Homo-oligomer: A and B are copies of this chain.
Amino acid sequence: MGSLDSNTHEDHTSTTPFKPLDPEEFRSQAHQVVDFIADYYKNIETYPVLSQVQPGYLHTRIPQTAPHHPEPLHAILRDIETHIVPGMTHWLSPSFFAYFPATVSTAGFLGEMLCSCFNIVGFNWLASPAATELEMIVMDWLANMLKLPTTFLFSGSGGGVIQNTTTDAVLVTLIAARDRILESIGANYMSKLVVYGSDQTHSMFTKACKVAGIDPRNIRLIPTTIDTGFSLSPFSLSKVIEADVAAGLVPLYLCATIGTTSTTAVDPIQPLADVAARYGMWVHVDAAYGGSACICPEFRHYFHGIEGVDSLSFSPHKWLLSYLDCCCLWVKNRDLLVKALSNNPEYLRNQPSESNSVVDFKDWQVGTGRKFKSIRLWLILRSHGTANLQAHIRSDIQMAKMFEGLVRSDPRFEIVVRRRFALVCFRLNPDKCSGPEYTNLTNRKLLEWVNSTGRVYMTHTVVGGLYILRFVVGATLTEERHVVAAWKLVKEGADALLKSK
Contact = CB atoms under 8 A, between A and B. Distances in A.
Contact of A104 (B119, B166, B171, B383): B119
Contact of A461 (B113, B346, B459): B346
B1 A24 contact: no
Interface in A39-88: 39-42, 50-51, 53, 55-59, 62, 64-71, 73, 76, 80, 83-88
B120 A89 contact: yes
Contacts of A151: none
Contact of A395 (B2, B41, B125): B2
Contacts of A210: 175, 179, 340
A29 B187 CA distance: 55
A5 B392 contact: yes
A24 B35 CA distance: 10
A128 B91 contact: yes
Interface stretch (A201-209, A226-234, A430-438): A201-209
A9 interface: yes
Interface in A134-180: 134, 137, 140-142, 144-145, 164-168, 171, 175, 178-179
A99 B191 contact: no
A368 B2 contact: no
Contact of A165 (B55, B369, B378): B369
B110 A91 contact: no
A20 B191 contact: no
A21 B380 CA distance: 12
Contacts of A297: none
A441 interface: no
Contacts of A311: none
Contacts of A121: 91, 99, 102, 324
A27 to B, nearest CB: 4
Contacts of A39: 23
A171 B371 contact: no
| Copies per assembly | 2
Contacts of A25: 106
A422 to B, nearest CB: 11
Contact of A479 (B2, B261, B381): B2
Contacts of A488: none
Give the interface centre of A110, A317, A459 by most chain B CB atoms within 10 Å.
A110
Provide the main secondary structure of the chain A interface: helix
30 contacts: A3-B480, A7-B387, A18-B384, A20-B104, A21-B105, A30-B38, A33-B113, A51-B129, A62-B134, A64-B141, A66-B145, A70-B388, A71-B385, A88-B120, A88-B129, A88-B131, A89-B126, A92-B118, A99-B347, A102-B121, A113-B116, A187-B217, A188-B191, A190-B190, A204-B368, A211-B366, A261-B345, A346-B461, A347-B470, A366-B366
A171 B366 contact: yes
Contacts of A429: none
Contact of A190 (B73, B191, B202): B191
A26 B106 contact: yes
A119 B322 CA distance: 10
Give the interface centre of A25, A109, A179, A390 by most chain B CB atoms within 10 Å.
A109
B392 A18 contact: yes
A396 B204 CA distance: 42
A352 interface: yes
Contacts of A70: 382-385, 388
Contact of A167 (B23, B71, B367): B367
Given A99-B121, A207-B343, A392 B20 contact: yes
* Tier of interface size on chain A: 35 or more
A261 B121 CA distance: 15
Given A27-B34, A391-B5, A461-B347, A386 B168 contact: no
Give the interface centre of A25, A102, A133, A347 by most chain B CB atoms within 10 Å.
A347
B51 A20 contact: no
A14 to B, nearest CB: 11
Contact of A7 (B68, B140, B191, B391): B391
B165 A367 contact: yes
A18 B212 contact: no
A406 interface: no
Contacts of A40: 117-118
A357 interface: yes
A208 to B, nearest CB: 7
